[in-house]
Amino acid sequence: MAAPASRRRGFSLGRSWPLLFVAILALHSLAIYLFTRGFLLTRTELDLHSHRDDRTGVSPGCSSWPQPAVDRLVIVVLDALRFDFVAPSTFFEEKQPWMDKLQVLQKLAADEKNSARIFKALADPPTTSLQRLKALTTGGLPTFIDVGNSFGAPAIVEDNIMHQLVKNGKRVVMMGDDTWTQLYPEHFNKLFPYPSFNVKDLDTVDNGVIDHLLPSLHENDWDVLIAHFLGVDHAGHIFGVDSTPMIQKLEQYNEILEDVIDTLKSLSTPGGPHENTLLLVMGDHGQTLNGDHGGGTAEEVETSLFAWSSKTPPDAVLSVLGENSCNFDLHGKEVCVSTMQQLDFAVTVSALLGIPFPFGSIGRVNPELYALSAGTWDIQKTGINACTPQDDLEAWKKRYAEALCVNSWQVKRYIDQYSGSSIIGFSAEYLHHVAELYSKAQANWSEVLKSTCPSETAKGEEFKESASSALQLQIDAYSSFLESFAKLARSAWTEFDLWLMGTGLLLMILSVITHAYILVRLNAVYQPSDQECASSRIITKLSFAFTLVMIRAASLLSNSYIMAEGRVTNFLLATSCIAGLWSSAVNGNFNIEEFIFLLLNIFARFGIELGMSKQIAGPTATKDHPVSIICDIFGSSFCNASVDIFPIISLAIVTCIILKLITYAVHQRFLKYFIMSGTILSYAFIANHWASESTLLSHAKAVQQTGRSLAPRFVYAIGGLSLVISALWRLFAPVGSLKFNERITSLSAAMLCSWSPVILMLLGRQGAFVALICITGAWCIIMLQQKYQKDSKLEITGSCVANPVSVTQWSLLAICLFYLTGHWCTFDGLRYGAAFIGFDNFHIIRQGFLLSVDTFGVSHILPVLSLPFIAIHCYNTVSKKSKVKDVTINILIQVHLMYGLITAITTTVTIICVTIQRRHLMVWGLFAPKYVFDAIGLLVTDLLICLASLYYS
């Protein structure tokens, strides 16, 4: 007996079901907005600047900003410069092909120890270029929310060294990465910017810098020169660190740096333009072996800084530099390496150039980098007239102590202003602790100044030891204060608005409860009351599906499981397959689909583990790629052939399957032939694009350019035209021309065939294999759903309750595909190269759209758009007492509600996780990116469901 009509009418959504999903989207958007406002607040940026006439310090010894120690500064930025690119390979356990390529820097560090030094520079995550440049110039810590500005950097209004240079009459020349012009649009006397976002272009920016760098070194119209190279960063993104293009770039940089150093040396004679010039060769961040950056791993935060002074300091500099980390290079010469925080860069450069420190800088003047400049050893520039220092080291310590005195005063001033202006600020306990350290350091400063002046009765050696000891104690006291506050800022910098976070979390929980209530009510209304057996099976399925969802959600509370999310999801999907096999075996019905699905999960697991989807452009593969393993076994010729041939074979199979789907699912003749023609053309262009990059085939240059540039654009154009045609057919086709089920399948197939070639193109050569896994998995789920329908005899009763296990498997498969295609939930997991397939120039909207489609294509767009196949193919026959249209709409609503609920539960648990772990060491490197990806994924899912409900209604 079917459910009473009054009950169905009492809770029927009818034509209002798109409004339901719009309401869910609005509620989720509000909840995420409120939580994000509370969780991802930036630190309060004070609109205050340091001035030359500021009263610095509290005693005569540090009553003014430090005097300039260098006349000119050359900063060469090698983007994504790993530490092992610069340091000799003897400092590492295993020598790698990319090591020891920058020989000129290693040679200088070995031969000119008094004036050259290699530093391991430690960056603060997140390690995106924008954040690192901002932190390097302001002297503050980066804030996580700035990642959103990485593709459209706003001008920096916070006090920074660029502002101080201009305000104090220093002339600045910049060449290279145009991010500098976005951050500092009016700070350069000369400017040679080049577009930076085309990661496939390894040479345009670098060649532009080379054209202007050496000629500029001969000019006298600048005080600070900045040259920002991008080739290493782009080579890493596209080819990885262990690749021929990366090694070629490093060798090119070595030649460039040789020319730069030779030019500086030739012009460093007394009276020459570079008599007292400091050269800094540095990276803004590191990169992983895959060429990614943005997170907080050691490979990403460890970069390099090389400093060389054209004017050699006295031998006493060696006592400051120390020999804590020294080793012999490949030529048997000793090379020493120091460590510094990038946080110290801005204030150290300011001290060397003699400009006021940026108001918000919280770094410490680095002693070793400060000592490498010969100007800091010049007694005439110490500013001390009360007495004459005994030797070079004491003179330098006095000058450095003065710099730290001003440095500490400036940081203390910032602390006081920040605590008074910020909404939340720092805790009283921490502030009291750092205030005590500062007071203690300042209280002894006057006594230290007196103790460094010899009295008439003082003996030479005794006085020298006493003065040196007093100065060192004072330096240690200032350093302790500065390091303590930097540690405090790192641990508690971000201001969390717990009220907004709690409100957002509460709304998310309420939305999940409401979401689940609506779904339960629909199931209750459309579940036949006299089918206890069927009802029992549905409850069992629901309990099992809920258990899978909650286990996956609960795993997100652990940072280790977040890092292994792909494997966790694959394990749960395999568990559902094993449970299905066991259930069918108990019932005496062996389902071959369950076995195929389990085998499919094994393939997916290997793909996730081995990085199968980290396919790179061109014929070269990284070492962790499965193709490289095959190469080791069968040889390089087999490897090259496999890379070129296997994707084409997979693509041919995918094309046949898609054409068969179109023949089966699309019932309107015009739409069928149009979609079929567009699909054939799209896949032909994809094959042409891959063939143009093949090394097995010889191409004319024009043919190669057409395949690489025009073919992807044709695919995008055909996909867009297909979307337009299917939408017009949806709007204007006669309603009665097709049965409702046939209309839905036609629309679904048209939508999938419009999106899939574009996504396949963006995924690269791995895409065809991933598509096979996706199609096979979807087929298994649909066939198992049909068998479940028949076994439960739901077709006979006219029940229209969707199987929650199938929808859960659909969701788990989507997550597996996300990790299988080389993505992960960190910003260094974005495949930036995909945004430039078919294009060489950067446009923020176009490239942003392509990057979004690549990121969410197989994990959100295709799974949501293909949900109608679960609803329709599971219910081919229904009771004569029920209307086909009503049953189909009800199943569509349930399936979309289930899928949206699964995503909402996962996102809610992620929000709970980041709320609990907001003070965790990995919050910005792991938990916050995971929250951003899940929150955006939920909104994308809700939006797609809303559009699908309108499209299919």
Q: Is the pLDDT of residue 69 over 70?
A: yes
Asked whether residue 479 is assigned to any structural domain, the reply reads: no
First to last CA, the chain: 28
Residue 847 near residue 198, CB atoms below 8 Å: no
How many Å apart are CA 888 and CA 508, to the nearest integer?
29
Backbone angles phi, psi at 336, to 5 degrees: -110, 145
Residues in CB range of 173: below 8 A, 6 or more apart: 188, 189, 190, 191, 216, 221, 222, 224, 225, 226
Asked whether residue 759 is assigned to any structural domain, the reply reads: yes
Residue 879 pLDDT class (50, 70, 90 cuts): very low
Residue 225 pLDDT class (50, 70, 90 cuts): very high
Asked whether residue 47 is assigned to any structural domain, the reply reads: no
- Residue after which a domain boundary falls, among 344, 377, 410: 377
Token representation of residue 341: 């925080």
The CA radius of gyration of the chain, in Å to the nearest whole number, is 33
Alpha-carbon distances, residue 902 vs 342, 802, 811 (angstroms): 42, 14, 8
Average pLDDT score over residue span 521-550: 69
Parent domain of 349 = 70-377
Asked whether residue 770 is assigned to any structural domain, the reply reads: yes
Alpha-carbon distances, residue 929 vs 126, 212, 420, 815, 911 (angstroms): 10, 39, 31, 16, 12
Asked whether residue 207 is assigned to any structural domain, the reply reads: yes
What's the pLDDT score for residue 426? 67
- Closest Cα to residue 411, out of 352, 444, 365? 365
- Mean pLDDT across the chain: 81
Amino acid residing at 497: D
What's the pLDDT score for residue 873? 60
Q: Is the pLDDT of residue 359 over 70?
A: yes
Residues in CB range of 824: below 8 A, 6 or more apart: 565, 566
Domain CATH code at residue 360: 3.40.720.10
Token representation of residue 405: 């005195």
Asked whether residue 448 is assigned to any structural domain, the reply reads: no
The number of folded domains in the chain is 2
Average pLDDT score over residue span 631-650: 68
Q: What is the share, in percent, of the chain residues with pLDDT greater than 90? A: 31
Asked whether residue 605 is assigned to any structural domain, the reply reads: yes
pLDDT, one tens digit per residue, over 852-875 is 999 999 999 999 988 888 877 655
- Residue after which a domain boundary falls, among 377, 405, 420: 377
Average pLDDT score over residue span 833-846: 82
How many Å apart are CA 223 and CA 204, to the nearest integer?
26
What's the pLDDT score for residue 602? 85
- Other Cβ atoms within 10 Å of 25 Cβ, number: 19
- Residue after which a domain boundary falls, among 351, 377, 403: 377
What's the pLDDT score for residue 525? 61
Asked whether residue 414 is assigned to any structural domain, the reply reads: no
Average pLDDT score over residue span 729-757: 80
